[in-house]
Structure 1
Amino acid sequence: MEICEVAFLSLLLCCSLVLVLRRKRRLLPPGPPAFPIVGNLLWLTRPVSDIEFVHRGLRDKYGPIVTLHVGSSPTVMVSGREIAHKLLVKHGAVFANRPTPFAGIRFISRNQHNISAAGYGPLWRLLRRNLMLEILHPSRIKTYAHAREWVLSILLDKLRARAGSGDGIVVVMESFQYSMFCLLVFMCFGEKLDKKAIGDIEKAQRDLLMFVGKLNVFAFMPKFAKYVFRGTWRKLLELRQRQREIYFPLIRARGEQMAAGRAPSENSFHFSYVDSLLDLELPEENNRKLDEEEIIALCSEFLNAGTDTTSTALQWIMANVVKHQDLQERIVDEINGVLGEGDQEIREEDLHKFTYLKAVVMEGLRRHPPSHFVLPHAVTEEFSMDGYVIPKDATINFAVADINWDAKTWKEPMEFRPERFLPGGEGVDADITGSREVKMMPFGAGRRICPGIGLAMLHLEYFVANLVRAFEWKQVDGEEVDLTEKSVFTTVMKVPLRARITARRKI
């Protein structure tokens, strides 16, 4: 009898345990079955484009919030705009952390000593506040107006030269990227560097950026992975060493200039991002200064954030300007109506007068967000919502493109229609920061929203306006602008934009 009782109690305990586990499973947002080890390996080897495709299938099956099992904790994917606003804005502090980074990201971020990788806490607040106040504050942005004029002249000269040697045909992305690097390097290091130095920095950044996708292999059993993929780890060390060789002299030169109290030269500026980092102290770490490796991590982050995404967005917008000639004509008419048809360039203080131009930029960011997902967030405490539980330490991400293309919010969402942001359109009241509501979120939303949103909008409006002011843009004879996407670090044009340009006036 005792044996039967023990057997019965054991069976009862097992059944209870199964029920508890099944109940716990049901509490999570819905999703496909989990295959812990195999599933992890399969997800880690998938490119972002595949993950996006799979997620859309799961969204159609399970709804706007889906649970995947990647790594040791669940990953929750959100594609509903109301849910995104609730989690990122109304309950922002709960969803503002970052997942524990794997070895490759820890190495690149100098153990999470940059803004994008730092956990939600004092270090993150300090680094973000420093960037916002010292570089991205509107008054500071205005002081770099002359740098933007300088870079605009570089960009227009490059396009004229390329057009002159190729029957007016230009491939624009290389010129956009180079120009953005000239501008952001100046803001970062306070120096107007020559073409070779800019090219070296651009190559070092791009090589490392393109290599990041290969670091997923270190997310699972990192010590073992470092041995198995030692060639990959060795390459990462080489790329970082190349950055050191380029950045250390620039950082030390600024430090020496600050220490000596020397006035800036003709090719330098009185304040740069590096200057603010050299002065920064970390109260949570005995008021120590940042070391050079940490400054490199922050400079690298600054350059990546301000160059690749902006040049990608600029190419997408100009591709639609080329493809839709009526749109281009309307921009030109608006500019001429304000400034006349003279040769002067468009000044930054004129930009607020161009409502249709702003609508074109907004539609570009809605229809072609440079990143289709935000950087992953982590949950700081268990959170209950609509009968589901999102557990503490879960990873959560937001499908930016799906939110931007929601047919419940936008009429014909896959069409490029700037008019939707004009009076009478469904996007006229769209808040790009997501503070009031989320209709589109190309810069993210909530506490982790991109700090450079104001600078990015200024750059896009300023460069689009002057590119259209300076040149007439047309499709190359016999070619259609191809808007097919390709996922690399950002979502770029699979076929880079080629256009035939003709000078309207000399700016």
Structure 2
Amino acid sequence: MEVWSLILLSLSLFVPLALLLRRRKRCSESKQVLPPGPPAFPIVGNLIWLRRSFSDIEATLRSLRARYGPLLTIHIGARRAIFVADSSLAHKLLIQKGAVFADRPPPGFATRLVGGSQFSVSSAPYGPLWRVLRRNLTAEILHPSRVKLFQQGRDKVLEILLGKLRRQAGAGEPVVVVEWFQYAMFCLLVFMCFGEMLDEEAVREIEKAERDSLLYSRKLNVFFFFPWIAKFVFRKRLTRIRELRQREKDILIPLIKARRRLTEQGGNNRSENSFQYSYVDSLLDLEIPDDKGGQNRKLTDDDIVSLSSELLIGGTDTTSTTLQWIMANLVKHQGIQARLFDEISTVVGEAGEVREEDLGKLPYLKAVVMEGLRRHPPGHFVLPHAATEDTALDGYLIPRTATSLNFLVTEINWDAKLWKDPMEFRPERFLPGGEGADADITGSREIKMMPFGVGRRICPGLGLAMLHLEYFVANLVRAFEWKPVDGEEVDLTEKLEFTVVMKNPLSARITQRQVTTAG
């Protein structure tokens, strides 16, 4: 009702002005041919087509694709967006013309009102700031040599996770794993971000602050449609998101200041839970281009909070979501789980823990993870792109002024022209002879799946995510036998939160594997 009230108010106030502006715009764009799409109405754009909740936009887009094709234009409120639902078109845009489409849309109205900006690696405009931030992230925290340094953190978090699961399994009750998967990933990313192995209470506090902000941000969608009116009608939402942002800063800034003091002391007085290096350490002396064209400047604490939050959310929610989807399919498909356990046992022995150096010897494990990412990508859209110049594509114009260029990940991941029985969970497709044996997850040669995006804006944490998924899936299967709860089917129904999660979280009966000892 709230959105429709805004539509009526908008129509009464702005239709005359919109008609005048639309007439002028038609004259200026008379020679431009945009990708096809449903007819748009003044001010409200295609909201008639999107009358269901915003979370249903994917189903709506799928029906529009059937009518208009894999490249279509939609007007959402006063904004124009282009959607791409084809692998070859995505390759042309993001790989062949990657530099042109590496930009991001400008920050939304609500973001500006709250006081935020595009101060993160993922949302920074394509240019000097983005290059500095991304180079620092990839070189200082995500480079393989740096990732290896955090192995002790992964070992510790695995020990914590397996211990909690053993205690629950010992009680004889079904185990609902989502909470523990999320906690384990937050433990690990907090360690990498702040260089501290914090206790459970502190990790839970950070996790709650980050997730509350993330989930509440969905309530700001209304500002996307009618920003100036929503500013007054939904003032409480702006107040609430500001409160959540302040809470986030109140929790993270003390951790940032603690690392700054430790650095100034030359690493002395380091506690037994402190690590020699962290992401925050790399940010303390980082200099970035001044947005006013002056000399480079150092990051503020607010800047570091934004970048830390990006690492925490980007490295936890997507990975824990994918981990749950993979384990749900292993519970549902016992034959796949048995084959994976046999492979693990052959490499490490039934009593052996899977070490990171073992992962390269486990091709079926990699196939299971790849199939999980193909069948259940944590995000069904990658972050929107923007063009830096007008570009022609297959006879259509992709204008620089388009608000956003959006890619439907599932339309590619589930494309029957690329994958046999695409809705089936079948890891064998990624083994030699399968249609995915040569699949390049970076999309540089050909795009057959793009759970991490592709091109210049590909997720910089791809390698870390693959390591975490393979490491934790392997050890969860090695440690426990996973079975459905008696009388229940594994429900793979989806639900949109920040990522696309299981509507009914995985509940399973787990039994500790029989461990044999030498001698």
Q: TM-score, normalised by structure 1?
A: 0.93
1:87 maps to a residue whose letter is L
Q: What is the match of residue 208 of structure 1?
A: 213
Following superposition of structure 1 onto structure 2, how do residues 154-233 of structure 1 map, counting pairs within 5 Å? 154-165=160-171, 167-233=172-238
Q: Is the 8 A contact 2:91 2:447 kept in 1?
A: yes
Q: How do 1:295-334 and structure 2 match up within 5 A?
A: 295-334=304-343
Matched, 1:434 2:440: no
* 1:376 partnered with 2:384: yes
Cα distance in structure 1, aligned partners of 2:24 and 2:181: 58
d(CA) in 2 for partners of 1:315, 1:71: 36
How far is the alpha carbon of 1:282 from its aligned partner? 1.3
Query: Quick one: distance in 1 between partners of 2:465 and 2:511?
Result: 27
Change (3 A) 1:151 1:243: same
Q: 1:23 to 1:191 in 2, by over 3 A?
A: closer
Determine the structure 2 residue equivalent to 1:258: 263
- Between the aligned partners of 2:46 and 2:212, the Cα distance in structure 1 is 27
Offset at 1:341?
1.8
Q: Deviations over 1:138-190 (max 9, x none)?
A: 0000000110000000110111112223x141000000000000000000010
1:203-236: CA deviation from partner (whole Å, max 9, x where unpaired): 0001001011111222345344222211101101
Q: Secondary structure at the match of 2:99?
A: helix
The aligned runs of 1:76-475 (5 Å cut-off) are 76-106=82-112, 110-165=116-171, 167-263=172-268, 264-284=270-290, 285-342=294-351, 344-394=352-402, 395-475=404-484
Distance of 1:88 and 1:431 partners within structure 2: 14
Q: Deviations over 1:358-379 (max 9, x none)?
A: 0000000000000000111111
Change (3 A) 1:28 1:319: same
User: What displacement does 1:448 show?
Assistant: 0.8
CA distance in 1, matches of 2:33, 2:84: 16
Secondary structure of residue in 2 paired with 1:384? strand
Measure, in 1, the Cα distance between the counterparts of 2:228 and 2:81.
Answer: 23
Preserved contact between residue 99 and residue 393 of structure 1 (Cα < 8 Å):
no
Q: What is the alpha-carbon distance in structure 1 between the residues aligned to residue 490 and residue 46 of structure 2?
A: 38
Distance of 1:232 and 1:177 partners within structure 2: 27
Q: Which runs of 5+ in 1 are unaligned?
A: 1-13
User: Structure 1 residues 269 and 243, CA, compared in 2 at 3 Å: closer, same or farther?
Assistant: same
User: Does the 8 A contact of 2:40 with 2:46 survive in 1?
Assistant: no
Relative to structure 1, the CA distance from residue 189 to residue 71 in structure 2 (aligned partners, 3 Å threshold; closer, same or farther) is same
Bigger drift between 145-154 and 33-42 goes to 33-42
Check whether the contact 1:422–1:428 (CA below 8 A) recurs between aligned residues: yes
Most deviating of 23-32 and 168-177? 23-32
- Report the Cα offset of residue 255 of structure 1: 0.4
Which amino acid letter does the alignment assign opposite residue 176 of structure 1? Answer: F
- For residues 112 and 459 of structure 2, the distance between their equivalents in structure 1, rounded to whole angstroms, comes to 20
Give the structure with the larger helix fraction.
1
Distance 1:42 1:179 in 2: 43
CA displacement 1:26-58 (0-9 Å, x = unmatched): 711111101131236668886453110010001
Q: Quick one: which amino acid aligns to residue 319 of structure 1? A: A
* Separation (CA, whole Å) in 2 of partners of 1:382 and 1:43: 27
Q: What's the secondary structure of 2:508's corresponding residue?
A: strand
Answer yes or no: is the 8 Å Cα contact 2:78–2:225 preserved in 1: no
Aligned CA distance change for structure 1 residues 207 and 141 (closer, same or farther; 3 Å): same
- Distance, in Å, in 2 between the alignment partners of 1:493 and 1:237 is 29
- Percent of pairs identical after alignment? 63
Code of the aligned partner of 1:208:
S
Query: Deviation per CA, 1:117-136, whole angstroms, max 9, x where unpaired?
Result: 21111101111111000000
**Pair 1:134–1:42, CA change in 2 (3 A):** farther
Paired letter, 2:261: E
- Offset of 1:103 from its aligned partner? 3.1
Q: Contact 1:95 / 1:377 at 8 angstroms: preserved in 2? A: yes
How many residues in Structure 1 have an aligned counterpart in Structure 2?
490
- The counterpart of 1:479, out of the listed 484, 488, 494, is 488
Q: What is the rounded CA distance, in whole Å, between the counterparts of 2:62 and 2:225 in structure 1?
A: 25
Q: Secondary structure at the match of 2:43?
A: helix
Shift of the 45–107 alpha-carbon distance from structure 1 to 2, 3 Å rule, reads farther
Counterpart AA for 2:86: G
Instruction: Name segments (4+ residues, structure 1) moved above 6 Å.
Output: 17-20
Amino acid at match of 1:358: K
Question: Which stretch has the larger CA shift, 102-111 or 459-468?
Answer: 102-111
For structure 2, the 5+ residue unaligned runs are 1-19
The range that moved more, 424-433 or 387-396, is 387-396
**Structure 1 residue matching 2:175: 3-state secondary structure:** strand
Find the residue that maps to 1:233 and give its secondary structure.
helix
* 1:237 CA drift (Å): 1.1
Q: Tell me if the contact between 2:350 and 2:478 (Cα under 8 Å) persists in the aligned partners.
A: no
Deviates more, 1:235-244 or 1:459-468: 235-244
Shift of 1:414: 0.4
Change (3 A) 1:376 1:45: farther
Following the alignment from structure 2 to structure 1, what is the Cα–Cα distance between the partners of residues 25 and 480? Answer: 68
* Amino acid aligned to 1:136: L
SS at match of 2:482: strand
Q: Residue 5 of structure 2 aligns with which residue?
A: none
Q: Which residue of 1 aligns with 2:501?
A: 492
Where does residue 74 of structure 1 map in the other structure?
Answer: 80
TM (norm. structure 2) is: 0.91
225-234 or 398-407, which deviates more: 225-234
Cα distance between partner residues in 1 of 2:354 and 2:62: 42
What residue in structure 2 maps to residue 52 of structure 1? 58
- Counterpart CA distance in 2 for 1:195 and 1:45 is 43
What amino acid does structure 1 have at the position aligned with 2:202?
Answer: A
> What amino acid sits opposite 2:136 in the alignment?
N
What one-letter code is carried by the residue in structure 1 that aligns with 2:489?
E
SS in 2 for 1:39: coil
